[in-house]
Amino acid sequence: MRPERLNPLFVDAQSLDGVGPKLRKPLEKLGLTRVRDFVYHLPDRFIQRRTVTRLDEANIGEQVIIALTPVEHRASSGRGPFRVLTQDSEGDVCTLIYFGRASYTAKKLLPLGETRWIAGKLDQYGDMLQIVHPDHVEAESTALMGRLNEPVYPLAEGLTQPRMAALVMQAMGHAPELPEWIEPALIERMKWPTWRDALELAHRDTHPVARDRLAYDELLANSLALMLVKSANRARRGQPLNGDGHLRDRISLPFPLTGAQKRSIGEIEGDLAQESPMLRLLQGDVGAGKTVVALEAMLIAVEAGAQAAMLAPTEILARQHYETLRKLAASSGVAIALLTGRDKGKARESILMGLMDGSIQIVVGTHAIFQDAVGYRNLGLVVIDEQHRFGVGQRLMLAQKGKVTPHCLAMTATPIPRTLTLAQYGEMDVSRLDEMPPGRQPIDTRVIAQERLADVVAGIERHLATGQQAYWVCPMVRENENEDLAAAEARYAILKEHFGEAVVLVHGQMKPEAKDAAMERFVLGEAKLLVATTVIEVGVDVPNATLMVIEQAERFGLAQLHQLRGRVGRGSEKSICLLLRGEQLSETGRQRLALMRETQDGFRLAEEDLRLRGGGELLGTRQSGDTPFRVASLEQIQRLLPIAHDDARLLIERDGGLDLSRGQAARLLLYLFERDWGVQMLRGG
Ligand code: ADP
Ligand code: MG
């Protein structure tokens, strides 16, 4: 139950004056549905204005407040703007310009001969001074005094800055004082204001200290919630699994394990031997060899008399894993089964029976393996592949399956930087496969100007002539979806003229059957060139595809480029990756592509990606889709998360039930940031 004193913050946005059905949509688009969301709707930046008495005191491009007197209204014929010619106290002329519907109100706001106070950006057009769409027009100067420093909020269609500012003010009026949840010594050291003061300051002014405090709150809430999951997990009863090695001895891997694989297996073996259930993340780039590590872990479980289940995000991946594991473990005599949503009737029944009576020791599948109808005789270990596809909720649900809590090994191929690993998987222990199996051919990566398209196409032609296949990746960005899709289809049409039936197209908006059919043709080698948007990121494995072209590569994040490139370089032939860059390349874009050429180390690319994206943030407003945070910026995450993480750990060590006064305050924090699943980890919480 949410603590009562937070209720005013969780009241529906409709309770604010002026929020009716019409504003609901645009507000929802901004994620503003409750009073709480408004107080955390922080400005992107502030407009600094200067009051000037005469036009010639102001600089071109400057945000000014100035008294001007309208002398003429000039409507355009047709669709042109509405112009209001005005004069300052010296008779110098400035034209106010309005487009569209604003023209009607402009006439009323600016009657001829009456002086008005105008706030806006002074521009020059030819040798005329002008202000396009003044931000404010007031009869009294006092009305503008509060606008010398004005917040600029993220908006959606149908909202204006003054409107948004007024709503935020109103919401702030509902914000109660809250007790302090941050360590007092830290507050003092950082000179942080209280929660409520920090919000006030952050809405009023560029105030990095206040913004830091608010970001820290969010980071602390996250760390705390994850840590509560961790300690609750530690308190659960699991079964110690001590494998005696008899199954592992029976299989002979076709290669020696890498040092990183041995180390990870050792860490897992140590965890499995404990009574409290394992909660471990195995992080390793594509091709780092996670499957064998998973196999060894599962064999340990089976040696100890338990069953193991491996969960994959898609049916294709489940099938691939099943085939791989069956081959690797063939000589062990272990019974392995595949269970997906596709299995029906008798086949499914017999697998369910096998799981129930224990004759199936390892099962691989999609989420179908955790449906209610599926019972296990003794499930000891759950392996989850591609962890980022599953939310915390699902992770917790998995843990409830057996009589005792099974050990859990999560695997992810997304190399994320250490700080973000902490943010996303802070409740888990981490093993890193930071060493690639030997003998990998480096992928020859080149950056090529988009204009050289003809050469690229000729290159593909030569490549396909050798019997090898190729990918052609087009960008697909959410904000730009329709345009991007059109571009991908246009590219496909052009390539089709060259290569005919050998080309197939796959994109996210296709019907699943059509997509599967196209993929299948490529996997079978009937199609030679696959044109795709980023859907190929997960789960395609075609060793014969050894060339990848990525169009407008500068539009992709480093991590994403890396994932894409990981689709080639899987066979014995040398692979090539061509990054086509557009004409206008920013400095960061240039650096990114250079890094791609320079390294194939996913962890290094992830760290650099974070550094490049987090750099140059002013107010820290640059959000990133791949973090669980809305208030904290990438830069703040890097700087403050490690502190929050330590602080959360200390707090739980001292007051694991969050019962003492700071602990009670921390409960409020968890609700405030909707990490209440953290509170639910507390017994009776
Ligand atoms: P991922 O981490 O992407 O799941 P896989 O487990 O699929 O990687 O392994 C990629 C390839 O590398 C497989 O063909 C696997 O057999 C091979 N491999 C794994 N470990 C080693 C190793 N120590 N030495 C050589 N090859 C290995
Ligand atoms: Mg894998």
Alpha helix (H) residue ranges in 304-430: 315-328, 345-357, 392-399, 418-425
pLDDT for 480 beyond 80: no
Instruction: Kindly give the distance from the C-alpha atom of residue 209 to the centroid of ligand 2, in angstroms, as a whole number.
Output: 43
Boundary of a domain, candidates 409, 433, 457: 433
User: 40 and 52 share a domain?
Assistant: no
Instruction: Establish if 685 belongs to a structural domain.
Output: yes
Closest Cα to atom 24 of ligand 1 = 437
User: 418 and 278 share a domain?
Assistant: yes
288 lines ligand 1 (CB under 6 A): yes
User: 582 and 670 share a domain?
Assistant: no
435 lines ligand 1 (CB under 6 A): no
Structure tokens at 507: 């994109």
- For residue 486, report the phi and psi dihedrals to the nearest 5 degrees: -60, -40
pLDDT for 368 beyond 60: yes
292 lines ligand 1 (CB under 6 A): yes
State which residues form the domain around 8: 1-44+153-170
User: 12 and 67 share a domain?
Assistant: no
Q: How many domains does the chain have?
A: 5
Closest Cα to atom 18 of ligand 1 = 289
Instruction: Establish if 305 belongs to a structural domain.
Output: yes
Instruction: Establish if 240 belongs to a structural domain.
Output: no
Instruction: Kindly give the distance from the C-alpha atom of residue 294 to the centroid of ligand 2, in angstroms, as a whole number.
Output: 10
Instruction: Kindly give the distance from the C-alpha atom of residue 241 to the centroid of ligand 1, in angstroms, as a whole number.
Output: 25
Residue 502, CA distances (Å) to 10, 383, 524, 580 in order: 57, 38, 12, 22
User: 146 and 160 share a domain?
Assistant: no
328 lines ligand 1 (CB under 6 A): no
Instruction: Kindly give the distance from the C-alpha atom of residue 290 to the centroid of ligand 2, in angstroms, as a whole number.
Output: 6
Pocket test for ligand 1, best of 263, 291, 328 (most atoms within 8 A of CB): 291
Q: What is the DSSP string of 210-238?
A: HHHHHHHHHHHHHHHHHHHHHHHHHHS--
Closest Cα to atom 23 of ligand 1 = 257
User: 277 and 376 share a domain?
Assistant: yes
Mean pLDDT on 612-635: 66
Instruction: Establish if 621 belongs to a structural domain.
Output: no
Count of CB atoms situated within 10 Å of the CB of 15: 13
* pLDDT tier for residue 429 given thresholds of 50, 70 and 90: very high
User: 115 and 71 share a domain?
Assistant: yes
Which range among 27-31, 232-236, 400-404 shows the weakest confidence by mean pLDDT?
400-404
> 103 or 527: which carries more pLDDT confidence?
527
Burial class (CB in 10 A: 0-12, 13-18, 19+), 406: buried
Q: Distance between CA atoms of 11 and 19, rounded to whole angstroms?
A: 13
User: 427 and 285 share a domain?
Assistant: yes
Q: Which ligand is nearest to the CA of 572?
A: 1
Q: Are 632 and 640 within 8 A, CB to CB?
A: yes
Instruction: Establish if 612 belongs to a structural domain.
Output: no
pLDDT for 387 beyond 80: no
Residue 257 Cα: closest atom of ligand 1: 23
User: 592 and 680 share a domain?
Assistant: no
Q: Are 288 and 412 within 8 A, CB to CB?
A: no
258 lines ligand 1 (CB under 6 A): yes
Instruction: Establish if 296 belongs to a structural domain.
Output: yes
Instruction: Establish if 625 belongs to a structural domain.
Output: no
Instruction: Kindly give the distance from the C-alpha atom of residue 531 to the centroid of ligand 1, in angstroms, as a whole number.
Output: 27
Residue 186, CA distances (Å) to 7, 41, 223, 684 in order: 28, 25, 16, 30
E strand segments, 285-378:
307-311, 336-339, 362-365
Q: Distance between CA atoms of 392 and 255, rounded to whole angstroms?
A: 35
pLDDT for 469 beyond 50: yes
Q: Which ligand is nearest to the CA of 387?
A: 2
Taking the CA atoms of 261, 262, 263 and 268 in sequence, report the sign of the dihedral they define: positive
614 lines ligand 1 (CB under 6 A): no
Q: Which ligand is nearest to the CA of 434?
A: 1
Residue 485, CA distances (Å) to 380, 532, 538, 563 in order: 46, 10, 19, 21
Q: Distance between CA atoms of 46 and 244, rounded to whole angstroms?
A: 65
Instruction: Kindly give the distance from the C-alpha atom of residue 261 to the centroid of ligand 2, in angstroms, as a whole number.
Output: 14
Helix pair angle (392-399, 208-235), 10° resolution: 10
Number of H helices, E strands in the chain: 24, 22
User: 669 and 559 share a domain?
Assistant: no
* pLDDT tier for residue 175 given thresholds of 50, 70 and 90: very high
Q: What CATH number is associated with residue 132? A: 2.40.50.140
543 lines ligand 1 (CB under 6 A): no
137 lines ligand 1 (CB under 6 A): no
pLDDT for 546 beyond 90: yes
Which range among 17-26, 183-192, 286-295, 623-632 shows the weakest confidence by mean pLDDT?
623-632
- What pLDDT shows up at residue 310? 95
- What pLDDT shows up at residue 392? 52
Sequence-distant (≥ 6) Cβ neighbours of residue 314 within 8 angstroms: 366, 538, 539
Mean pLDDT on 519-535: 89
317 lines ligand 1 (CB under 6 A): no
Instruction: Establish if 633 belongs to a structural domain.
Output: no
| 389: helix, strand or coil | helix
| 132: helix, strand or coil | strand
pLDDT for 604 beyond 70: yes
Instruction: Kindly give the distance from the C-alpha atom of residue 398 to the centroid of ligand 1, in angstroms, as a whole number.
Output: 27
Instruction: Kindly give the distance from the C-alpha atom of residue 320 to the centroid of ligand 2, in angstroms, as a whole number.
Output: 9
Instruction: Kindly give the distance from the C-alpha atom of residue 258 to the centroid of ligand 1, in angstroms, as a whole number.
Output: 10
Residue 433 Cα: closest atom of ligand 1: 2
Instruction: Kindly give the distance from the C-alpha atom of residue 503 to the centroid of ligand 2, in angstroms, as a whole number.
Output: 27
Angle at Cα 352 formed by Cα 350 and Cα 355, nearest 5°? 110
User: 253 and 393 share a domain?
Assistant: yes
Element (H, E) at 497: helix 481-499
Structure tokens at 628: 């669980």
User: 497 and 530 share a domain?
Assistant: yes
pLDDT for 290 beyond 80: yes
Q: What CATH number is associated with residue 553? A: 3.40.50.300
